Amino acid sequence: MKLNPQEKAMLDGKEGPATQKAMQILTTLGKIYGAEKLIPAKSVQIAGVSYDNLGEAGLSFLEEMATGGGKTRTITTLNPAGMDIENWEKLGISPEFARNQNRVLEAFSSMGVNTTCSCTPYLVGNNPNYGDNIAWSESSAVCYANSVIGARTNREGGPSALAAALTGKTPAYGYHIEENRKPTVSIKVNSSLEGTYHFGALGLAISKKLDQHTKKIPFITGISSANLEELKSFCASIATYAGAAIFHMQGITPEAYLYDQPSQSLEINERDIDQAKLIISSKIEDEEIDFVSLGCPHLAINEIARIAEILKGKEVKKEFWITTGRPTKKTADSLGYSKIIEASGAKFATDTCCVVAPIKGRFKTLVTDSAKACYYGASKNNFKTLLLPFDDVVEAALK
């Protein structure tokens, strides 16, 4: 890899041990993937923030980078943590977990990271532009950035994203290269879609058809409209079930017009969508439901407004978590939505989510509108899951 004098100085340790380590990570990755050079990373988002996932080994690495003088050189935010940073007790998090989670956040903070914890960085001020090279690591956000924004990122791991933050650089390979962003398979959707849960089911339905293909960049046609909430749900689902880091949607995503439809073509019809819903929905009686959650990926303010509209003057009967980024929660506070929602007994789980919080064993049955939350609810926490439309999820909490 060709390095410029500043990059060489970083690699030689002239800017401190943490920057040196970061440069070693990036040059090693670059060599493995055949990158010729490093390019500026205009934005970074780091996953691996919950102490539940990091453990002591991950925390030691972060503390080593912090004491080694690491400082961010580009806008950097975090993925959700394992708890609501301000209201962890309300969510039943133990003081010991909270202590360790705070050590993680302190390590990031001392490196100059903005400790806003959200998987929708584009909703909370870390919002790159079309064509920007960035280094994000949350899979749903990576898919959103590449596909919906038209920014360019590989699916970074926590350490490589931190390395990008501490050097302001990322190796030029993978989705940073135009050639690698070309669609490889056409997918015609012959089904009307409405709402986050339909778009989540679509991600799973596509993954079932893509199984036999190794390189998966879908060019999707047949969808007449998709709003921000639907696209973030779809990104989370197709990243989870198909491992996709980019797709193009004709008439909707910004790079779709650059490409011809690939000749290999698949179809998704209503039956495929219905089957996908069934795959992640168990047969569940109302009285079995003990956990309801909205906000995977983190909620936008419009979605919180809708929850407030439905819950106004009512009382929830189930544990109901509303997960979002802190800046969005603050907007909800100022618009009066939080007061209405909290008066109903529903809880904001700000900075965290129903997957990264340490809740295994506390609940048995999760109801949500998110296909991704169904996947991890079952695989990580052994929950039975039920996928419902957004409004029906709120109604389920009231029964």
Which residues are registered as beta bridge partners of 169? Answer: 40
User: Residue from 234, 241, 247, 376 that binds ligand F3S (CB under 6 A)?
Assistant: 376
SS (HEC) of 306-339? HHHHHHCCCCCCCEEEEEECHHHHHHHHHCCHHH
Judged by CB under 6 A, the stretch of 208-216, 333-341, 349-357, 381-389 that binds ligand F3S is 349-357
Judged by CB under 6 A, the stretch of 3-11, 16-24, 222-230, 294-302 that binds ligand F3S is 294-302
**Torsional sign, CA 52, 53, 54, 56:** positive
* Residue 326 touches ligand F3S, criterion: CB under 6 A: no
Burial class (CB in 10 A: 0-12, 13-18, 19+), 127: middle
* Residue 363 touches ligand F3S, criterion: CB under 6 A: no
> At closest approach, how far in Å is the CB of 119 from ligand F3S?
3
Nearest to 327 by CA among 299, 369, 308: 299
* Residue 353 touches ligand F3S, criterion: CB under 6 A: yes
Q: Tell me how far apart the alpha carbons of residues 276 and 262 are, in angstroms, rounded to a whole number.
A: 25
* Residue 371 touches ligand F3S, criterion: CB under 6 A: no
Residue type, 55: G
On the question of a cis peptide bond just before residue 358, with omega within 30 degrees of 0, the verdict is no
**Torsional sign, CA 361, 359, 229, 286:** positive
* Residue 165 touches ligand F3S, criterion: CB under 6 A: no
In this structure, what are the phi and psi dihedrals at residue 193, rounded to the nearest 5 degrees?
-125, 135
Give the three-class secondary structure for 199: helix
Judged by CB under 6 A, the stretch of 90-98, 148-156, 254-262, 353-361 that binds ligand F3S is 353-361
* Residue 308 touches ligand F3S, criterion: CB under 6 A: no
> At closest approach, how far in Å is the CB of 138 from ligand F3S?
6
User: Residue from 165, 356, 367, 374 that binds ligand F3S (CB under 6 A)?
Assistant: 356
* Residue 324 touches ligand F3S, criterion: CB under 6 A: no
* Residue 331 touches ligand F3S, criterion: CB under 6 A: no
Using the minimum distance from each CB to ligand F3S, give the nearer residue, 154 or 368: 368
Cβ neighbours of residue 250 closer than 8 Å, sequence gap 6 or more: 219, 220, 221, 222, 223, 256, 261
Pairs from 2-8 (Cβ < 8 Å, separation ≥ 24):
2/36, 2/37, 3/27, 3/37, 3/38, 7/38, 7/167, 7/169
User: Residue from 30, 70, 80, 150 that binds ligand F3S (CB under 6 A)?
Assistant: 80
Q: Residues 114-133 vs ligand F3S: string with x where CB under 6 A?
A: -----x--------------
SS (HEC) of 137-160? CCHHHHHHHHHHHCCECCECCHHH
Q: What is the CA radius of gyration of the chain?
A: 21
Q: Residues 218-247 vs ligand F3S: string with x where CB under 6 A?
A: ------------------x-----------
* Residue 140 touches ligand F3S, criterion: CB under 6 A: yes
> At closest approach, how far in Å is the CB of 192 from ligand F3S?
25
Judged by CB under 6 A, the stretch of 27-35, 182-190, 223-231, 350-358 that binds ligand F3S is 350-358
Cβ neighbours of residue 160 closer than 8 Å, sequence gap 6 or more: 25, 26, 29, 135, 137, 170
| Residue located via tokens 């197709």 | 238
* Residue 296 touches ligand F3S, criterion: CB under 6 A: yes
Q: Residues touching ligand F3S: how many (CB under 6 A)?
A: 15
> At closest approach, how far in Å is the CB of 371 from ligand F3S?
10
Judged by CB under 6 A, the stretch of 19-27, 211-219, 293-301, 340-348 that binds ligand F3S is 293-301
Q: Which chain residues interact with ligand F3S by CB under 6 A? A: 79-80, 119, 140, 236, 296-298, 323, 353, 355-356, 372-373, 376
